[in-house]
């Protein structure tokens, strides 16, 4: 079945560091991918919609200069958290779907801890 | 703006009893999804409901959709410990998925 791969699964780094997270669709092409953030015991909050070959669409309140999204190919989207601070610590999850009416498949998530 | 409300948010279930989780959404939605999340893990797709009256079943879980009432239900039959997890419903129209707050299920003996 369709699989979305996310890497890395766990990152611990110092404040001020930039962190890149990759999201790959392994056996299908995804013109659109989604990036979510989930704080402990809360629901998923959509951060942005990643569009292949064009700029990402960010949700209200999400800083586009802090959370850089690149969707350079039909199977890869990246999220870079620039100059990360402790308040950016969270569980980041990407997703993609194969087409209309199909379920979104989620990556395994990346747990980001900023010290 | 599409909003999704789930209830209850917490559910402590006795083994072998039946329970229902409710998911209401505020505006017309093309699709309704149910996901399961185990602690520390990502989301696992359970059901996709595409039309009014749709009913899907997998094991002890059954999901249904009433688009007129803008309501989906997830029914749990004869709960077992393996079902302990957080369950999310999500809806979408011409927008990306909007998630409910999730229902944290615990099955107790």
**Interface contact B50-A93, CB threshold 8 A:** no
Q: How far is A85 from chain B (nearest CA, A)?
A: 21
Averaged pLDDT, A78-95: 96
Average pLDDT on B4-21 reads 95
pLDDT attached to residue A51: 87
Averaged confidence pLDDT in chain A: 92
Per-residue pLDDT tens for B56-85? Answer: 999 999 999 999 999 999 999 999 999 999
pLDDT band at A1 (very low <50, low <70, confident <90, very high): low
- Flag whether pLDDT at B11 surpasses 80: yes
Whether B23 shows a pLDDT value over 80: the answer reads yes
Greater confidence, A104 or A56? Answer: A56
- Asked if pLDDT for residue B94 goes beyond 80, the answer is no
pLDDT value of position A27:
86
pLDDT for B30 = 75
pLDDT in the model for residue A62: 95
Cα dihedral angle (B44, A57, B70, B46), rounded to 10 degrees? -10
CA distance B82 to chain A (A): 20
Residue A112 pLDDT > 90, yes or no? Answer: yes
What residues form DSSP beta bridges with B45?
B35
Indicate which of B30, B51, B85, B96 best probes the interface with A, i.e. most A CBs within 10 Å of its own CB: B96
Q: Quick one: what percent of chain A has pLDDT higher than 70?
A: 97
pLDDT digit string (tens) for A21-46?
A: 999 999 888 888 999 999 999 999 99
* pLDDT given for residue A101 in this prediction: 64
């Amino acid at each position: 079945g369709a699989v979305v791969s996310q890497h890395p699964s766990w990152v611990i780094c110092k404040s001020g560091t930039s962190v890149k997270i990759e999201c790959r669709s392994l056996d299908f092409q995804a013109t659109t991918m989604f990036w979510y953030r989930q704080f402990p015991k809360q629901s998923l909050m959509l951060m942005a919609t990643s569009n292949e070959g064009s700029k990402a669409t960010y949700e209200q309140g999400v800083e586009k200069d802090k959370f850089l999204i690149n969707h350079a190919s039909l199977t890869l989207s990246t999220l870079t958290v620039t100059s990360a601070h402790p308040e950016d610590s969270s569980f980041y999850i990407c997703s993609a779907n194969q087409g209309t009416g199909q379920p979104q498949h989620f990556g395994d998530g990346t747990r980001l801890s900023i010290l | 703006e599409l909003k999704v409300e789930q209830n209850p948010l917490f559910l402590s279930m006795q083994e072998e009893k039946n329970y229902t989780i409710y998911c209401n959404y505020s505006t017309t939605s093309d699709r309704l999804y149910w996901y399961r999340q185990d602690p520390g893990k990502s989301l696992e797709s359970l059901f996709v409901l595409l039309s009014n009256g749709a009913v899907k079943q997998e094991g002890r879980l059954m999901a249904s959709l009433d688009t007129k009432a803008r309501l989906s239900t997830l029914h749990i039959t004869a709960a077992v410990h393996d079902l302990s997890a957080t369950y999310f419903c999500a809806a979408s129209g011409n927008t990306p998925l909007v998630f409910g707050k999730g229902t944290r299920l615990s099955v107790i003996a």
